[in-house]
Amino acid sequence: MNEAADHILIVGGGQGIGAAIAALWPDRTTVWTRRTGVDAADPSSLQAAFARFRQQHRTPWALVHCIGDFCERPVLGTDLATFRHLFTSNLDTAFHTVQTVVPAMVTEKRGRVILFAAAGVDKDRGLRRAPMYFAAKAALVQMARSLALEVAAAGVTVNVIAPGLIHHAESHQQSQQRLVAKVPLGRVGNVADVTELVRYLLSDAASYVTGQVLTVDGGLQA
C-alpha cells in the first residue's frame, strides 16, 4: 500500500469497529453510511456514491465492509421482518457493495477487500445464541471465499475477519459479560485487537493471503 496515495473505502464505518478502522488512516479514508447519504442496501445509492468517489480518488486500494446488525433470538422465535432485516444488513449490503466496487479493482489489477463475519460461523456446528445473525454471516463467508477465487488472477485479495467478543461503545455488553467466562484468554477483546489485523491485511506483508477467515476471539468456546 502506498501510504501517501492509496485510498481506503469503508462501508459502515460510522461507529464501533468501522470507526476505529477509519481512525487509523483519517486522511486517506472515505466512510459510507446512511448518515453520509449512502444506503448499502440500495444498489443505485452505492453506484451513485462510487461514481462520485472515483471522480475524487479513482479506484480505492482497499474496500472494508463492516455493516452488520445483531439479534439474539432463536430460530423459532424470529419473525419474518427480523429475519429479512438480518440478511439485508449482514449479507445483502456486502453483496451490493462488492458488485459495485470490486470490478474496478479487478480492472486496476490491485486491491484488498475485507469483509466482517463473526467468530464460529465457519465451523461445522450450530450456534444457539443468535442463529439467524450467524446464518447470514456464514453465507457472507462462503461468498467471500468464492469472490477470492474469482478475483485472485487480477491480484485482488479477499479476506474475512471474524470477531468474537469485542468491546466498544455500540457492542452488546450484557451478552459479552455473560460469555466472557467461555474465553480461554479470560477477557473481552478490544478494538485494537481487530484494527491491527486490518492494518496487517492492508500491508505488503499480507499480499499472499486471500480467501481466509481470520478469527479474533481469544479462543471463545461458545
- Across the beta sheet with 213-216, the strand order is 29-32, 8-11, 62-65, 111-116, 156-163, 213-216
60 lies in some domain? yes
222 lies in some domain? no
221 lies in some domain? no
170 lies in some domain? yes
Tens digits of per-residue pLDDT, 122-147? 887 777 789 999 999 999 999 999 99
Closest CA to 115 of 80, 160, 79: 160
Tens digits of per-residue pLDDT, 104-122? 999 999 999 999 999 989 8
Whether residue 1 is predicted with pLDDT greater than 90 in this model: the reply is no
- Residues spanned by the domain of 17: 8-216
Tens digits of per-residue pLDDT, 40-81? 999 999 999 999 999 999 999 999 999 999 999 999 999 999
User: How high is the pLDDT of residue 83?
Assistant: 97
Select which of 133, 158, 193, 206 is catalytic. 133
User: How high is the pLDDT of residue 128?
Assistant: 77
Q: Is 133 a catalytic residue?
A: yes
Tens digits of per-residue pLDDT, 149-207? 999 999 999 999 999 998 876 666 667 778 888 899 999 899 999 999 999 999 999 99
95 lies in some domain? yes
Structural domain count, the chain: 1
The strand pairing partners of 62, in sequence order, are 8, 112
- Look up cell 448518515; give the residue: 35
pTM, to two decimals: 0.94
47 lies in some domain? yes
